Structure 1
Amino acid sequence: MNKIANSCYLWTVIGFVFSVLISCASIGTYAQTAKDTLTGAGKDTNIFKMKVLPLPTLYYTPETKTSFGILNLFLFRVNTSARVSAIDFSIVYTQRKQLLIDPTYTIFTHNENYIINGGFVYSKFPDYFFGVGNYRNDQMHNREFIDYKTLQFHNRVLRKIHKRWFAGLQYQFYKVFDVHFDANSQYNEGNVTGFNGSTSSGLGLILLYDSRDNVLSASRGGYLELSNLYYNSFLGGNSRFHYYKLDLRKYYSFTRQLTLAAQILVNINEGQTPFKQMAQIGGNRTLRGYYTGRFRDNHAWVIQGELRYFIWPRFGVAVFGGVGKVAATLGEMDFTGLKGSVGGGIRVKMLRKENFSIRLDAAAGRKSNGFYVSIAEAF
């Protein structure tokens, strides 16, 4: 095993231990608070008991074709002063011989004084690469098939600074390795950063406002994230670039059944950004209807909206649409060359009290379409 691989696993283990320690400290704080509450005021009958939801998964997306696996979802609340926390663990294998192992977590501590979220991803993901740019990728025949593996770790720890406002630190490790592609590939001449593999290790700051009623399927409130990541070799990687993100969402609940959700998302990269970490549009969350990474470049922006209506307590429908683009420079982040998509889907509410749903969406973009099955809402 080479030095880069050793560094990769070392940073992943360090991140895992860090997350566990923070989580244990938070749980310990909650345990003492709960004990004091029970001693002084009797049993709190409103405490939310942990719910475990094992789900076999079978779905189709343009990126994976038919996929199957298992998802275990754990929902819990430390006490009534915090929103529902969620931990999920999924293992998926696809018709294209792709393997994805993806545990994630979002934990709210007592009084939501801290928010801890993050996850780990290991993937063996043979995939299509369409090149870089907002215009050259309109034709599907420009794509090339590449085979690679990724190992990712990301974690955030945020402290409440005022009511629904939080600030904190985040760390991300992203390694692309065992890359294989056609020897005659047009990208085999070093004109795409990271095409032969890359290791990125970045540290950054976050300012967050979060008044959503539910992190999985919000129907009221708002969300604002301003964050950055600084990737450099002294953190254990071989990539040097800056990443900035603006994520603004708003949820309007007209009735108990009808919700309008809107999002503005901006991603900016400065420096030599590896192709897998470039800003992109497409996939099951951002401008559905386009293949994930069909359009990618240094920068991207997306505006999208969705109207959700529950016809019955456990069954609903949704319509959505959006526009966006990728750009090489900030000066190109205008309204020319927009990519648009529209679609609709159904929602099946698995847990009514927690407002947790399975969504099935079909969407169409420019010379592109997709069908998606996923847990939680896209945004």
Structure 2
Amino acid sequence: MSIRRVRPVHALRGIFFLFATATGTVHADQGPANDQESAQAQRPAKAPSPWILLPTFSNNPKLGTSGGALVGYARKFDPESQVSMFGVSAQYTSTNSVTAAIFARTSFDQDRHRLSVLAVGGLIKNDYDNFLGTGTPLKSEDHIRAFVGRYLYRIKGDWFIGAQTIFTNYQIVGQTALDDDLLSVLGLTGFKAGGVGLVLNHDSRDIVDAPKRGWYLNLNNIAYRQALEGSNNFSVYRADYRQFWSHGDGNVFAVRQSNQWTANAPPGAYAPVVLRGYTMGEYLGKYMSSFEVEERLRLAERWTATLFAGVACLYGSNRGGCTDSANRFPSAGAGVQYILKPAQGIVANMEFATGKDGNRAVLFKMGYAW
């Protein structure tokens, strides 16, 4: 099956290549020649800028070329809280797709409260060579507007409880009458939905964006209901576990085990393969489970490298199980990172990832993959 598609979820995530102006510090000379030099030496070091400018770029065989920009602002509300980030982004692709987003990720009151919001709008154009293995080419447009919000409250130690909500009008329309007919026959018309859910979270990572130790567990659900929005009643359940071990001189070994299960969901809301090297949303199944390992090597004071490998499985309904190689999706790759803001753990990350059936990608982004 050959599919060339720009999926909404992938476009919203974006692939970020970081660019920012370096901030300098004033160094005292061992023996200043005059009072003016002495006064300059005693001045406090200039604080790093909280602003981040992120030109965005990505290219892979499935998506073509995309570019755009992200402007972000990072700060800590108090010493005990994690770094909060606010920003806007926009992206345009060679398939004439466009998306824009406004986001905020906050931690405040000594990290007792965490609030995240995301608002997205866009037009995604899809170009299928062999739509879902039917042998028929298809062109479609995905019109998407969405709002996502999550609130967490620290109940004890590193444990949080909270709630989340999502509203979306994700729709698929064909670019021709024949495309519309094929979409209707296959039942892929997108969905308009609103949902709410609960969250149980454990987070003992030392730095959220570049952890060197600790573990993370996220259990949550979204119950989409007609009473809130849309015409479908279905549910999505997720479980995500990550652990980080520091070793050697600044190296980190990390593992991640991720799951997503759906119940009575329309095909457009099925679980995607989430590994690097695969287009988000191109491969979908009723259920998905994946496992990844990653080694983060410290090369120099502000440089690291990554080596990673993993495998995902789609199962449920008529797909069969994970023993069938058609349902397994391996991934491997490597990358290099520049530590742009050491205190916040923000890195510029370039990685190459490859999967099966010719899937591969060069990723330029902000932060580690997870």
TM-score interval (norm. to shorter): 0.7 to 0.9
Task: Output one character per residue of 1:298-320: Cα deviation in whole Å (capped at 9) or x when no partner.
Answer: 11111112111121122221111
For structure 1, the residue ranges without an aligned partner over 5 or more in a row are 1-44
Higher helix share: 1
Counterpart CA distance in 1 for 2:120 and 2:60 is: 19
Counterpart CA distance in 1 for 2:299 and 2:183 is: 55
The aligned counterpart of 1:112 is 111
* Gap change, CA 1:256 and 1:173, over 3 Å in 2: farther
1:322 Cα deviation (Å)? 0.6
Counterpart CA distance in 1 for 2:354 and 2:184 is: 33
The aligned counterpart of 2:313 is 325
State, as a whole percentage, how many aligned pairs show the same letter: 21
Q: Is 1:271 the equivalent of 2:270? A: no
Q: Is 1:153 the equivalent of 2:115? A: no
- Would the aligned equivalents of 1:263 and 1:303 in 2 still touch at CA under 8 Å? yes
* Gap change, CA 1:160 and 1:271, over 3 Å in 2: same
The aligned counterpart of 2:162 is 168
Q: Which has the higher contact order (CA 8 A, sep 6+)?
A: 2
Partner of residue 340 from structure 2, selected from 333, 350, 353: 350
* Gap change, CA 1:59 and 1:167, over 3 Å in 2: same
Task: Output one character per residue of 1:250-309: Cα deviation in whole Å (capped at 9) or x when no partner.
Answer: 11111453111211111000013241x21011xxxx211122222102111111121111
Partner of residue 245 from structure 2, selected from 223, 248, 252: 252
The aligned counterpart of 1:90 is 89
Structure 1: which amino acid aligns with 2:361? Answer: G
Q: Is 1:312 the equivalent of 2:306? A: no
1:144 Cα deviation (Å)? 3.9
Structure 1: which amino acid aligns with 2:227? Answer: F
* Gap change, CA 1:249 and 1:232, over 3 Å in 2: same
1:84 Cα deviation (Å)? 1.1
- Would the aligned equivalents of 1:131 and 1:296 in 2 still touch at CA under 8 Å? no
1:185 Cα deviation (Å)? 4.8
Counterpart CA distance in 1 for 2:159 and 2:185 is: 42
> What TM-score comes out, normalization by structure 1 length?
0.78
1:115 Cα deviation (Å)? 0.9
Alignment of 1:67-106 (within 5 A): 67-106=66-105
Alignment of 1:194-233 (within 5 A): 195-233=188-226
Task: Output one character per residue of 1:217-252: Cα deviation in whole Å (capped at 9) or x when no partner.
Answer: 322211101101111110122221011000011111
Which one has a bigger Cα radius of gyration? 2
For structure 2, the residue ranges without an aligned partner over 5 or more in a row are 1-43
> What TM-score comes out, normalization by structure 2 length?
0.79
SS of the aligned residue for 1:197 comes to: coil
SS of the aligned residue for 1:111 comes to: coil
Name the stretch that deviates more: 151-160 or 102-111. Answer: 102-111
SS of the aligned residue for 1:188 comes to: helix
Alignment of 1:20-35 (within 5 A): none
Name the stretch that deviates more: 120-129 or 82-91. Answer: 120-129
1:332 Cα deviation (Å)? 4.2
Counterpart CA distance in 2 for 1:213 and 1:361 is: 24
Q: Indicate the RMSD between aligned Cα atoms, in angstroms.
A: 2.6
SS of the aligned residue for 2:343 comes to: coil
Name the stretch that deviates more: 360-369 or 199-208. Answer: 360-369
Partner of residue 373 from structure 1, selected from 352, 364, 370: 364
1:157 Cα deviation (Å)? 0.9
Counterpart CA distance in 2 for 1:181 and 1:355 is: 44
Q: Is 1:241 the equivalent of 2:234? A: yes
Q: Is 1:364 the equivalent of 2:363? A: no
* Gap change, CA 1:198 and 1:51, over 3 Å in 2: same
